[in-house]
Amino acid sequence: MRIDGLQYANWSEKIFRQMHAGGVNAVHATIAYHETFRETVLNFEQWNRWFEQYPDLIVKAQWASDIDRARESGRTAIFFGFQNPSPMEDDIGLVEILHSLGARFMQLTYNNQSLLATGCYEDYDAGLTRMGREVIAEMNRVGLVVDMSHSGDRSTIEAAEHSTRPIAITHANPHDWHPALRNKRDKVISAVTENGGMLGFSLYPHHLKNSTACTMESFCEMVARSAERYGAEHLGIGSDLCQDQPDSVVEWMRMGRWTKTTDYGEGSPSNAGFPPMPSWFRDNRDFGNIEEGLRATGLNADEVAGIMGGNWYRFFRENFGPEDGA
C-alpha cells in the first residue's frame, strides 16, 4: 500500500496516470490555501468534474475503506484537505459542513498568525487562541484532522496536548536533520507522536538537506533514525509534491491576499519559485525508489510497509469519522 500524506499538484490526466503507474493508492490533496468558504466549494466542484472525467483513474474518498475500493479497481483514492483554516472563515459551524463535503484535514495556520494559532514564520508564538481550542474540539467531534505542518512550536505542542484525538504534521522533516524554518524540532515531533499522531516526511527540496541535491540515502537514513526516535508506526510520507505548478502559484501559497509585498518564504529571493525535485523522486512514479531506500537502511518489512502507507491507512480509519457518541 502506498499513501501520500500531501500533494498540491497542478492536477491533470498525466498526473493521475503517473499515480496509477507508481502504484499510489491514496493521496491527500490540498484544495485550499487562502480561499474563502465559497471559493473552496468551487474547488470541490472542480474535483467532482475530474472524478467524472477520469473514473478509471481516481475516486473521491472520505473513509479508509475507500482506499480498499480504489485498490481493488486499480485507482487512486483522493482525500481533501486545507493548508489554512480560511475555508471555515470565522464560523465554527462550517467545520461540520466542510467535513460533510469531504474535507478530512485542516491546518490551523499557514505560516502566519490565524484566528486559531500561530504560524511558524511569526516572531512570537502565542499558542492556541480561545477560538483555536473551540475549533479543535469541533474538529475532534466530527473527524476533521488537525494538521500543524505550518504552525509554530508552541502552537503545535498545545494542539497535540489539547486535542482529544491524534493530530498530524502531514509534510515536514526533523529540524535537526535540516534546519529549515518549516521543519520540526524534536520536542514538537515528540509531542505529536507521543499523543498518537503522525509525521509525514516531505520531499519538497527546501525541506531537504542539500535541497535538490539531497541523496536518497540521506533521506532514508533520516527516516530510519526517526523511526528509532519516535516509533515507526507514527511515520509516513507527505511528499508536498507541487508537480507542474507554475512559479506564480508560489505567490498565492505564500502571500494570498494578506500582503502587497513579496514574501520569499524559506530564505531569499532565490527561493521565489519551485525548485527542481531530487532525481530519485520526480513524481508519483518514483515511490518505489523510497521503498527500496528504506529497506536498505535495515528497517524491517513491516516498518517499511507502514511508512509507505499502512500507518496513514490506520490513522485515516481511526480519525476520519465522528468521535464515539458525537
- Over residues 13-67, the pLDDT tens digits come to 999 999 999 999 999 999 999 999 999 999 999 999 999 999 999 999 999 999 9
At 266 the pLDDT is: 63
Cell (9 digits) for 200: 509525514
Pick the closest to residue 304 from 319, 320, 293 (CA basis).
Answer: 293
CATH number, residue 278: 3.20.20.140
Picking from 56-70, 135-149, 177-191, 267-281, which range would have the lowest pLDDT averaged per residue? 267-281
Average pLDDT over every residue of 69-79: 97
C-alpha cell at 46: 472542480
The domain tally of the chain equals 1
CA distance 130 to 8: 30
> What's the mean per-residue pLDDT of the chain?
96
223: pLDDT confidence band, cut at 50, 70 and 90? very high
Residue 167 pLDDT exceeds 90: yes
- Predicted pLDDT of residue 213: 98
Mean pLDDT in residue range 57-80: 98
Distance CA 21, CA 13 (A): 12
pLDDT reported for residue 262: 79
Task: Say if 326 falls within a structural domain.
Answer: no
Q: Which residue has the higher pLDDT, 254 or 88?
A: 88
Q: Reply yes or no on whether the pLDDT at 315 is more than 90.
A: yes
Instruction: Compare 188 and 323 and report the one with higher pLDDT.
Output: 188
Quote the CA–CA distance of 169 and 200 in Å, as a whole number. 6
Range of the domain at 33: 3-319
Residue 121 near residue 111, CB atoms below 8 Å: yes
* Residues 268-294: tens digit of each pLDDT: 555 667 899 999 999 999 999 999 999
Residue 319 has a pLDDT of 98
C-alpha cell at 218: 540521506
C-alpha–C-alpha distance, residues 211 and 283, integer Å = 16
User: Is residue 153, in this structure, part of any structural domain at all?
Assistant: yes
pLDDT at 188 over 60: yes
Q: What is the pLDDT of residue 248?
A: 86
Mean pLDDT of all residues in 200-218 = 97
As beta bridge partners, residue 28 has 79
- Of 89-98, 146-155, 227-236, 265-274, the range with the lowest mean pLDDT is 265-274
What is the spatial distance between Cα 208 and Cα 253, in angstroms, rounded to a whole number?
19
Strand partners, 168: 147, 198
pLDDT bracket for residue 181 (50, 70, 90): very high
- pLDDT value at residue 271: 60
Residue 297 lies inside a defined structural domain of this protein: yes
State the pTM of this model. Answer: 0.96
pLDDT score at 269: 56
C-alpha cell of residue 71: 485498490
Cell numbers 467535513 correspond to what residue?
99
Q: Please check whether residue 49 lies inside any domain of the structure.
A: yes
* pLDDT number for residue 273: 78
